[in-house]
Amino acid sequence: MEPSPLDAESVCHLTTTGRVSGRPHEIEIWFTALGDSLYLISGEGADPDWVQNLRADPAATVTVGEATIPVMGRVPVHPGEERTVAVDRLHDKYGSQVTGTREDWHRTAFIVALDVHPHTR
């Protein structure tokens, strides 16, 4: 997976559809961009509203810098090469700002993928 120029930004804004309200729900969150996907780490596992909203309706938008991109969420990213690379990139980008070793993150991180919607490619 190739790094994306979007990865130069420190945060993104994810807008999901509320699973109960049906209204837009926006959060600011850390991310890494690789290839045609963005990867997010949920510090609270599957519990946050944004994760549950993506499970209920994976269609969302993400704003990085000036770009707003339609995406489809995948919750969670399962163990394998994709997850390993995403965790490494997220830890490289943000590890100095939090506790937890790279090994801790590999063992426990809850990773969500946002795949660029195919109609935007």
Kindly provide the b/e burial profile for residues 1-13, where b requires at least 16 CB atoms within 10 angstroms of the residue's own CB: eeebebeeeeebe
What integer pLDDT is reported at residue 121 of this predicted model? 41
Q: Strands of the chain (E only): list them.
A: 12-17, 24-29, 32-34, 37-42, 59-64, 67-74, 110-116
Q: What domains, with CATH codes, occur in the chain? A: 5-120 (2.30.110.10)
Q: Residue 85: CB partners within 8 Å, gap ≥ 6?
A: 1, 34
Please measure the distance between the N-terminal and C-terminal CA atoms of the chain and give it in whole angstroms: 16
Per-residue pLDDT for the chain (121 aa), expressed as one digit of tens each?
666 888 899 999 999 999 999 999 999 999 999 989 999 999 899 999 999 999 999 999 999 999 999 999 999 999 999 999 999 999 999 999 988 899 999 999 999 999 997 654 4
The pair of structure tokens assigned to 64 is: 């990085």
Rounded distance between C-alpha atoms, residue 57 and residue 19, angstroms: 7
What integer pLDDT is reported at residue 99 of this predicted model? 85
The candidate with the shortest Cα–Cα distance to 79, out of 105, 61, 53, is 105
What integer pLDDT is reported at residue 61 of this predicted model? 97
